Amino acid sequence: MTRAGFIGLAGRPNVGKSTLVNAIVGSRVAIVSMRPQTTRRAIRGIATDSEAGRQLVLVDLPGVQRPRDVLTERMQRRVERELADSDLALLLVDGEQGIGPGDRFIARVLLGANAEIPTICAVNKVDRVGPNELVPVLAEAAELEGVDEVFPISARSREGLDALVQRLGELVPEGPFLYPPDDHSDQSSELLLAELIREQVLNRTRDEIPHSVEVSVTEVAEREDGLVTVRAEVWVETESQKGILIGKGGAKVGEIGAAARRSLEDELGVKVYLDLRVRVRRWRRDENLLDRLGIE
């Protein structure tokens, strides 16, 4: 007998959802940044344990938020659709910050999206919290609307992950695996490469730049000498942002490009030539470009 199912992973921005998905899958399928609202698409991470007969499809959702433009409207609609189609929901909260109004709002969103499915709450970052501080957070998490069980974990150190994964495997429905056992994600290689480039932009810029940047890979080609050429466009919304991203004498974009190239080489296992071009367009409000970028 095997079990397999979709798990909608929801939580406030920057609580560690992408780190948790990568930890459970055992492979890098979602980018990680200290910047909130890093995730813009529903990224599926596939964790298969053939011996245990389970396959967990973790849907790393954008942080639940109140929409303020076309981009965030699309992100919020995607959250609601994915949660409605999930077999169970996993609410992640920050053990350091405790339970706040945002967590209570998201718990209500989960209940409203699909009240029939189990909802597990994982209290993350317990490796940074002492026992005296942790106990009241766990108690508050257990009182959140719709929450059935609570697990203290650390996605970074893997503390508590085995127990959480075991329980998730017990809750997904009986049935055949939904993806081949060797798959780790359903996203295209071009999207993963674009996200790895964006990760370096996020980690090397500040102020308004991180939220105003999107990356699109336009070409991946292998040369006869084995070198892989990756051509990518980095979209920003204003000329001033473009100037900041390029930097004096191209220093900033050069720094980003060098770091992104190393990240791509680690992912592809080959030497990479990365061609980065910075473009200006009001992409967050551009329905056609959002379609092209795959932000549904």
Shared-domain flag, residues 153 and 209 = no
278 near 257, Cβ under 8 Å?
no
Task: Tell me how far apart the alpha carbons of residues 193 and 196 are, in angstroms, rounded to a whole number.
Answer: 5
Mean of pLDDT values over 252-277? 93
State pLDDT tens for residues 9-20: 988 877 888 889
275 near 232, Cβ under 8 Å?
yes
Whether the pLDDT of residue 239 is over 50: the answer is yes
Shared-domain flag, residues 23 and 153 = yes
Evaluate if pTM is beyond 0.95: no
Choose one of 124, 145, 171: the last residue of a domain.
171
| pLDDT value, residue 223 | 87
Mean of pLDDT values over 163-187? 93
For the chain, how many helices (H) and strands (E)? Answer: 9, 9
Residue 157 DSSP code: T
User: In this prediction, what percent of the chain has a pLDDT beyond 70?
Assistant: 83
Q: Confirm whether 195 is domain-assigned.
A: yes
Whether the pLDDT of residue 63 is over 70: the answer is no
Task: Tell me how far apart the alpha carbons of residues 84 and 254 are, in angstroms, rounded to a whole number.
Answer: 43
What's the structural domain count of the chain?
A: 2
Q: What is the mean pLDDT of the chain?
A: 85
| pLDDT value, residue 11 | 86
Whether the pLDDT of residue 130 is over 80: the answer is yes
| pLDDT value, residue 74 | 58
Q: Which domain holds residue 84?
A: 3-171
Whether the pLDDT of residue 173 is over 90: the answer is yes
Mean of pLDDT values over 41-63? 85
Q: Confirm whether 179 is domain-assigned.
A: no
Burial 161-197 (b: 16+ CB within 10 A, else e): beebbeebbebbeeeebbeeeebbbbbeebbbbbbbb
Q: How many CA atoms lie within 13 A of 191 on its CB side?
A: 17
Shared-domain flag, residues 68 and 195 = no
Tokens, residue 223: 């040369």
Q: Confirm whether 180 is domain-assigned.
A: no
Question: Which CATH number does the domain housing residue 42 bear?
Answer: 3.40.50.300
